Homo-oligomer: A and B are copies of this chain.
Amino acid sequence: MSSTPDKPLVILRAAPHPTDRIFTPDALTRLHDRFTVIEPDSEAALDDALPDAFAVVGQPELPAERLARAGKLRAVLNVEGNFYPHVDYDSCFERGIHLLNCGPAYAQAVAEYALGLALDLARGISREDRAFRAGRERYVYEGNADAVLLQGSDIGLIGFGQLGRALHPLLAAFRPTLRVYDPWLPPAVLREQGLVPATLDETLTRSWFVFVLATVTDESRHLLGERELDLLPDGARLMLISRAPVVDFPALLARVAEGRLLAGIDVWPEEPVAADDPARGLEGLVLSAHRAGGIPEAFWTIGDMVVDDLTLIARGLPPARMQVAARELVGRYRNRPVS
């Protein structure tokens, strides 16, 4: 299979996804109409294709020596929502190779899920459903002693990247005071959007609902430790959405166990969680198995984004849908691929 000037060569390796999870038949048709697509079944086949490649879709290893052989390469498109250390990013930046990930494909799904967890914790939805199934349901106000509104409440966001931006309009409908802690953003960026820039301590001290949306870097590991968790008001609800290492897990679980905090947890230090992990029995938790982003509509968006951005780049335009790597940040992330 050879590419033509009209149909540049795209190397596709969708792993860890099967191809048809992230490409609808329609997206696949569009991809093949516009590009010569090769899905190499070995490292050797990949190496053979590189010199002619316009773009790589997926996350094969791309060290400097491989990139050196890919003289026509214009873009590397990761099919997960992170930048992992499998690419020699410096070479790419020097050569102006676009580095993209599909994080935005998940943002809406994550935002809706995060709001769902917050409403569950605000009102005890899953807790009271369990009680109902056990014949212990409490009618009307009996089960509502700790129920609170989101409307007009104080809400904190730890981190304001693409997840925060997707969550913001959903929360705005509740007219909250939205405090945001994000050390990578100047306050004016937040103020222009009607948000209140705040320190971490202020955000924690004054928020009834806290969404943890920060990515993992060396600085954000255990950003929420014992001291920080103790700043939260009694009865606060914490939604842990982004990455487990941002929080001191034993400290969080201890505070949930003693009834001081309620928490919705979607990401865990080890996945799968141990069978005998005591978190499984905590009444103050909503337990979730890394499910916030990975829904069918999000996966299909990945393929659609990939085709759209490849098309723009082939037309000599900048990509418009996927997340663009920032030179300063790409080396800082400490996320691990989902296995």
Which A positions have Cβ atoms within 8 angstroms of B? 21, 93-94, 96, 108-109, 112-113, 115-117, 119-120, 122-126, 128-130, 132-133, 135, 137-145, 147-151, 169-170, 172-175, 184-186, 188-189, 194, 271-273, 275, 280-281, 285-291, 294-297, 299, 304-305, 308-309, 311-312, 316-318, 320-321, 326-329, 338
**Of B184, B295, B296, B321, which is within 8 A of A188 by CB?**
B321
Within the oligomer, what is the number of copies of this chain? 4
Report B-chain residues with C-beta under 8 Å of the C-beta of A174.
112, 170
A186 touches B327 (CB 8 A): no
Query: Smallest CB–CB gap between A243 and chain B, Å?
Result: 14
Residues of B within 8 A of A329 (CB): 317-318
Whether A132 touches B175, Cβ cut-off 8 Å, given contacts A123-B113, A148-B295, A318-B329, is no
Given the known interface contacts A116-B122, A126-B129, A173-B170, the answer about A318 and B328 at a Cβ–Cβ threshold of 8 Å is yes
- Report, nearest first, the 4 A-B pairs whose CB atoms are least far apart: A116-B119, A126-B126, A132-B287, A186-B308
15 contacting pairs across A/B (C-beta < 8 A): A94-B94, A125-B288, A129-B285, A129-B286, A130-B133, A137-B289, A140-B290, A142-B289, A145-B296, A147-B291, A147-B295, A147-B296, A188-B304, A188-B305, A317-B328
